[in-house]
Chains A and B, each alone.
Chain A
Amino acid sequence: MSAQRKTGIDVVAEIGWGTHCCLFHETKGDLLDTVVSYCKAGLEGHEFCLWVVAAPVTEEDATRALRHVVPDIDRHIADGSMEIVAARDWYLQDGTFDLNRVIRGWHEKLALATARGYAGVRVTGDTAWLDKNDWKDFSDYEDSLNEAVANQRLAVLCTYPIEACGAGEVLDVVRTHQFAIAKRRGNWNVIETAGHKQAKREIEERKRAEEALRRSEAYLAEAQRLSHTGSWAFNAAGTVYWSEENFRIWGFDPQQGLPRREESIQRLHPEDRDRVLAEAMAAVRDKRDYVVEFRIVLPDGTVRYVHGLGHPVFDANGGLVEVVGTQVDVTERKRAEQEREKLHQLEADLARINRLSTMGELTASLAHEIRQPIAAAVTDANTCLRWLERAEPDVEEGRQAAGRVVTDVTRAADIISSIGVLFKKGAAPRERIDVNQVIREMIVMLRSEANRHGISMRTELGADLPHVMAVRVQLQQVLMNLMLNGIDAMKGASGGHELTITSAAGDGHLLISVGDTGAGLRPEHADRIFDAFFTTKDQGIGMGLPISRSIVESHGGRLWVTANSPRGVTFQFSLPQAVATHADPANELSYERSHTKR
């Protein structure tokens, strides 16, 4: 609509569609010169041109004048792009002037021209036919025309013979047109009124504002689409506004208009419906914002998770004006969270199974190892008795059998004390390890296990801790054993449960602790918990702590336990900083010596 059209008139080079202006002319020559140029420019711009002529100018005069500047004017007239009509046939069809009929006429021409593919309609009408008695009616028409041509592909040039206008008439004409030009014996004047200037500026400003608004709306809609955020407003009467994205989230068709309140309530998940409505009502009553998480069930059964936010707006008297808010479709995020949760659960299960199967294998192999020398000891002891219980005891044979008993039992003891050596076997590679990182990994792994039992996990990790040299899986195993022990200890206990894991740098070593608020340790158990096969748990096998201690000691550290006040225990272990080496060759040798081939 803003496309500028050439006027063909020197003093006003271009006008926009929707322009309604006037020309005062002194002579017939002044009129014809101006209007033929005006029509020529229109024809060149592929516009439909209509010229309403009035005496003394005839249709023939007009055609002849046009031919001077548009040589093939006859062709234009023949194909209907140029129409020349007499004023009496246009303005005064039944001998009377009807404002509405004339305006309708312009619009019909416009519709026709548009249908035939013209760029728009260019009109010029002469008013020499006007009688003083018709002046008032015609002035009203001119006034109405401004509105009628606004925003249309129409441009109108009204021509007035200047000698027919008194000062009052000139004022009327200038007032009712957007601007006026005058041609007096070849000389131009342009008259633009302040009111029209203002109006023009306002129109332009409005256009700019509308354009800016459209752009900002487009950006907002795009942002809503990208962030899955819909916005809405409702008041006492019902829903006032839904953004496009809101329609999408709820699965309603924007073409169908705003959904009724019952329709949207129907789509709330039955389990969430009462809660959401109650929360919104409570927020309005308490004059506060509200946040609510809920689900939507679409007609096809799809469930969407929504994070909603509402803000009631009140007037000065505290009356509710409306409630505005946003709704974010968090379905994707929710799904990802659930997947993650499932994965964590799986990891924890796996870790537990892994731990148990490792324990199971260890136990089976240790049981076998230990059973051998014990069986031998029993047999040797029985044999010893046989020699000594004879009618004539054979002391020498008895002594030999007893000697074998000592060997058997020593072997059994060696096996038990060499459990830790299992962790040296295979010479697992040690690497520089950030203990805090391993702690965090274990927390991630065991979080869902802790959550399941209502246990919170808290860390106090020292900053910039020195690294340790360790076998990563063994360190993981120690932490997991201690943390799972803590969780196990708190499962049954009442009250708030917290597992606290700390790390700190000491003098040349790191100190790591795992504390629980569980049932604690009975004094008579305190010095036995690190013994192999000692357990206080129904399902325990009593190997977690001895193994953990063996691992820590094989790394050159210590593992011990202290009681917490008022309840629970804290396991602490130290590990030397990475700079120190801590292989223990003596331990290695004793293992080699005592380890049997199985």
Chain B
Amino acid sequence: MATQGTPKVVSIVDDDDLMRSALQGLLKAAGLPARTFASAEEFLESGQQHETACLIADIRMSGMSGLELQARLNAERLRIPTIFITAHGDERMRMQALRAGAVEFLAKPFDDEVLLDSVRAALES
């Protein structure tokens, strides 16, 4: 559903400050610009969801969870390729996320190469 010019921005939504910085730093090292948000609400309010080509989100956050955010975006017909990263994901949660359109589901700590490959794939799609 791309409109005028495909946005190449990656958005990171995680309520852990260390994790946000780490993800942003990694993408920067890979030459991929990224914006960070401390919560799903902050992300939705920023309007950046319309500019986002790839979303990296934590699942369990205070306030709206990553899965709820995904459902909200789907409801708004914003099909953003989403990569979930969680500290305690189980198989059920993983299946739910993938069915809802997630492109990757990673457990912390994760393999940075796998994450970057997924991000690049999302940006090129």
Contact = CB atoms under 8 A, between A and B. Distances in A.
Interface of A: 364, 367-368, 371-380, 382-383, 386-387, 397, 400-401, 404, 407-408, 411, 596-598
Contact of A404 (B18, B62, B87): B18
Nearest to A378: B109
A375 B29 contact: no
A361 to B, nearest CB: 13
Given A371-B87, A397-B28, A400-B25, A376 B112 contact: no
A371 B108 contact: yes
Interface residues of B, number: 20
Contacts of B16: 372, 376, 596
A372 B22 contact: no
A151 B15 CA distance: 107
Contacts of B28: 383, 397
A248 to B, nearest CB: 65
Contact of A383 (B26, B62, B110): B26
B92 interface: no
A374 B109 contact: yes
Given A382-B26, A386-B30, A397-B28, A372 B112 contact: no
B20 to A, nearest CB: 9
Given A368-B87, A372-B108, A387 B29 contact: yes
A397 B26 CA distance: 10
Contact of A368 (B19, B30, B88): B88
Given A368-B88, A374-B109, 6 more contacts: A377-B22, A378-B110, A397-B25, A401-B25, A411-B18, A596-B16
Interface string B86-98: 0110000000000
Contacts of A597: 15, 62
Given A371-B108, A375-B108, A375-B109, A383 B25 contact: yes
B22 A408 contact: yes
Contacts of B23: 379
Contacts of B48: none
Contacts of B109: 371, 374-375, 377-379
B45 to A, nearest CB: 20
Interface string B1-35: 00000000000000110110111011011100000
A375 B19 contact: yes
B18 A408 contact: yes
A379 B22 contact: yes
A375 B112 CA distance: 11
B62 A598 contact: yes
B87 A380 contact: no
Most buried by A among B25, B85, B87: B25
Nearest to B113: A382
A404 B29 contact: no
Nearest to A598: B62
Main secondary structure of the interface of A (DSSP, over half): helix
Given A372-B18, A408-B18, A411-B18, A379 B87 contact: no
Contact of A380 (B15, B22, B108): B22
B29 A376 contact: no
Nearest to A387: B29
A407 B15 CA distance: 16
Nearest to A412: B18
B119 to A, nearest CB: 13
A382 B112 contact: yes
Nearest to B30: A386
Nearest to B62: A597
A387 B26 CA distance: 9
Contacts of A596: 16
A379 B20 CA distance: 10
Contacts of A377: 22, 109
A380 to B, nearest CB: 5
Contact of B26 (A368, A372, A379): A379
Nearest to A388: B29
Interface string B47-76: 000000000000000100000000000000
- The 9 tightest CB contacts between A and B, nearest first, are A375-B108, A375-B109, A376-B18, A379-B22, A378-B109, A386-B29, A376-B22, A382-B112, A371-B87
A383 B19 contact: no
Interface string B102-125: 000000111010000000000000
B62 A397 contact: no
Nearest to B108: A375
Given A404-B18, A597-B62, A372 B29 contact: no
Contacts of A372: 16, 18-19, 87, 108
B23 to A, nearest CB: 7
B22 A404 contact: yes
A364 B87 CA distance: 11
A597 B88 CA distance: 17
A364 B23 CA distance: 24
Contacts of B108: 371-372, 374-375
A380 B21 CA distance: 8
14 contacts: A371-B88, A372-B87, A376-B16, A377-B109, A378-B110, A379-B26, A380-B21, A386-B30, A387-B29, A397-B25, A397-B28, A404-B21, A407-B18, A597-B62
Nearest to B29: A386
Most buried by A among B18, B28, B87, B108: B18
B81 to A, nearest CB: 20
A373 B18 contact: yes
Contacts of A400: 25
Contact of B112 (A367, A379, A397, A411): A379
A375 B110 contact: yes
B104 to A, nearest CB: 15
A375 B15 CA distance: 14
A383 B88 contact: no
A64 B100 CA distance: 133
A597 B15 CA distance: 10
A387 B15 CA distance: 26
